[in-house]
Amino acid sequence: MDKVTVLAQYLPPDAAPLIGRWIDYFKCEFKISRNRGTKFGDYRAPHLGKGHRISVNFDLNPYAFLVTTVHEFAHLHTWNEHKHKAKPHGTEWKNNFKKMMQPFFEKEVFPPDVKQAITSYLNNPAASSCSDLTLYRSLRKYDAPKESVHTVEKLPLKALFKLKDGRIFRKEEKLRKRYKCVEISTKRIYLFSPVAEVEVMPEA
């Protein structure tokens, strides 16, 4: 399969051709990687005979995948211009990130709220990689909903739910900040955070 077709499965489709051209133009080894938990993407400068290398986690939604990809390409471009003289998320990187984001704004690949969050992120001098919560939250909103995972607060009263370890509970009333829930097998009462993620049981 050609590169742009593969990229279009991860990126907003209108963004794929340009990223494909960047990969060629910058002679970059671009890898779609497994989820590494602690980071969305990674850039490695040429070293010991290897060229530029970028990797981006496969499980990001298309907007987060694009923002991460542009973030890493801005590292590459900054390295080409300044080598070790520029700080990883310093002014030079930031200016390149802004500049390299422009074509995607012009193509209007982002929904308005994401565009807004990226713009304020770009204008915040303290912003660095993934530490901007507003940006992170607005990107997270576009993640596909997890299959049958719900939070305790969203369940109806008396609903049955299951934890990862297999134990089954029934949701009862709210006590102050938490929900009283009864473990079915032991009849013991537990208190659950409203945002605890649980699996919904089919109606008995």
- Binding-site ranges for Zn ion (CB under 5 A): 129
Closest to Zn ion by CB, 56 or 155? 56
Cβ atoms of 180 and 170 closer than 8 Å: no
Residue number, nearest CB to Zn ion = 129
Q: In a 3-state reduction of DSSP, which class is residue 146?
A: coil
For Zn ion, give the closer residue by CB, 129 or 134. Answer: 129
CB of 70 to Zn ion, least distance (A): 11
Query: Two tokens at 133?
Result: 């919560």
Min dist. Cβ of residue 38 to Zn ion (A): 13
Q: Closest approach of Cβ 75 to Zn ion, in Å?
A: 6
Tell the smallest beta-carbon distance from residue 88 to Zn ion (Å): 6
Q: Which is nearer to Zn ion, 61 or 129 (CB)?
A: 129
Which two structure tokens, joined as six digits, stand for 146? 């997890």
40/169 with CB nearer Zn ion: 40
**Least Cβ distance, residue 129 to Zn ion (angstroms):** 4
Dihedral sign for Cα atoms in the order 26, 29, 35, 37: negative
Q: Which is nearer to Zn ion, 22 or 169 (CB)?
A: 22
| Helix or strand (DSSP H, E) at 104 | helix 91-106
Asked whether the beta carbons of 27 and 47 are under 8 A apart, the reply is no
Measured CA to CA, the distance from residue 26 to residue 157 in angstroms comes to: 57
> How would you class 150 by CB atoms within 10 Å of its CB: exposed for 0-12, middle for 13-18, buried for 19 or more?
middle
